[in-house]
Amino acid sequence: MNDNTLSGRTALVTGGSRGIGRAICVRLAQAGIKVAINYRSNQAAAEETAQRVAEAGSSAYTVRANVASRQEVDAMVEEVGQHLGPIDLLVNNAGIFEFLPHDELTPEVWQTTLDTNLTAAYNTIWAVKDGMIERGFGRIVNMSSIGGVRGRPNSIAYSVTKAGIIMLTKSLAEAVAPHNLRVNCVAPGLTDTEMPHSVATPEVIEELIEATPLKRIGQPEDMAKVVYFLLSEDADFITGQTIIASGGRVLLP
Ligand code: NAP
């Protein structure tokens, strides 16, 4: 295997059952990468992603784990290693979104959001990084959000976690760079998945599109292309960076 070639390597995509995660799984499969598809509860959706990975010509393995749980993540990494081989590529994509005014942000919501969106990335990275270091190869992409750059008044916990993901990316990238590990981040804007549609009315979505310079909602495939680029050899001199993929809507309302 050419040192930089991704074909034949194994990727773990958290939250690969739906939305952006599914598009990432398919994009990686198109490059010949074996894909472990993590999900929390929606097994049928994960199986659908596995079907699409197979149609793209690669191997898939679905694996249930709550990424907020260190124990479940450790077991997942062990299981994936047995079925697809060691994880060389990690995409921390799983996430939850809260849309609440500040006086409704309970300690429970705060903690669950931090555990799922931020501590989960610690859990997965710390479960795979030592193996990557031993093999002298690793590529990690973390999923942030434009909420982590600008902040959102009704998504305070979410924005905090997504800002944390950007700093985790920067700090870790510098720490592991000597071992040929690259760590980067994607910060999507509004993307056409269940996540925004579950909290925003069609009218609000239209307003957000209107506030987007490129005048459209992002598609999961838009994000998958950026993730693949950051994993690939085309990004070999890039680490610790966050690419904002938002159609230009970053500092606008
Ligand atoms: P989505 O459609 O709601 O899908 C969320 C995925 O995460 C599902 O696969 C879900 O699994 C999984 N998940 C949630 N909690 C989990 C947990 N505790 N353990 C394991 N898996 C878990 O979300 P999306 O829109 O594709 O978002 C993907 C990422 O992009 C997230 O990090 C999100 O914050 C970020 N993002 C999205 C947007 C947007 O507009 N869509 C914008 C900016 C950033 P199940 O299927 O089993 O529930």
The pLDDT value given to residue 5: 84
Cα–chain center distance at 81 = 20
* Catalytic residue chosen out of the listed positions 39, 61, 122, 158: 158
Q: Is the pLDDT of residue 253 over 50?
A: no
Its domain, for residue 181, covers 10-191+220-245
How many Å is the maximal CA-CA distance in the chain? 55
Residue 4 lies in a domain: no
Residue 111 lies in a domain: yes
Give the 3-state secondary structure of residue 25: helix
Is this model's pTM higher than 0.95 or not? Answer: yes
Alpha-carbon gap, residue 140 to 123, rounded angstroms: 13
Q: Sheet containing 34-39: give its strands across.
A: 60-64, 34-39, 10-13, 87-92, 138-143, 181-188, 242-245
Number of domains in the chain: 1
Q: How confident is the model at residue 3 (pLDDT cuts 50, 70, 90)?
A: low
Per-residue model confidence as pLDDT tens digits over 14-68: 999 999 999 999 999 999 999 999 999 999 999 999 999 999 999 999 999 999 9
Per-residue model confidence as pLDDT tens digits over 84-96: 999 999 999 999 9
CATH number, domain containing residue 175: 3.40.50.720
Mean pLDDT taken over the chain: 96
The pair of structure tokens assigned to 191 is 């993307």
Residues in the ligand 1 pocket, defined by CB under 6 Å: 14-15, 17-21, 38-42, 45, 66-68, 93-97, 116, 143, 145, 188, 190-191, 193-196
Residue 205 lies in a domain: no
Per-residue model confidence as pLDDT tens digits over 192-205: 999 999 999 999 99
CA of 178 to the centre of ligand 1 (A): 31
**For this structure, is 158 an active site residue?**
yes
Mutate to test the pocket of ligand 1, among 191, 212, 219, 246 (most ligand atoms within 8 A of CB): 191
Per-residue model confidence as pLDDT tens digits over 105-147: 999 999 999 999 999 999 999 999 999 999 999 999 999 999 9
Alpha-carbon gap, residue 25 to 23, rounded angstroms: 5
Residue 197 lies in a domain: no
Residue range 181-187: mean pLDDT, rounded: 98
Residues present in the chain in total: 253
Closest CA to 12 of 40, 30, 41, 33: 33
The pair of structure tokens assigned to 226 is 């950026």
| Amino acid present at 85 | G
Residue range 152-176: mean pLDDT, rounded: 97
Residue 120 lies in a domain: yes
Q: Is the pLDDT of residue 252 over 90?
A: no
Number of H helices, E strands in the chain: 10, 7
For residues 141, 145, 148, 153, the Cα torsion angle rounded to the nearest 10 degrees is -160
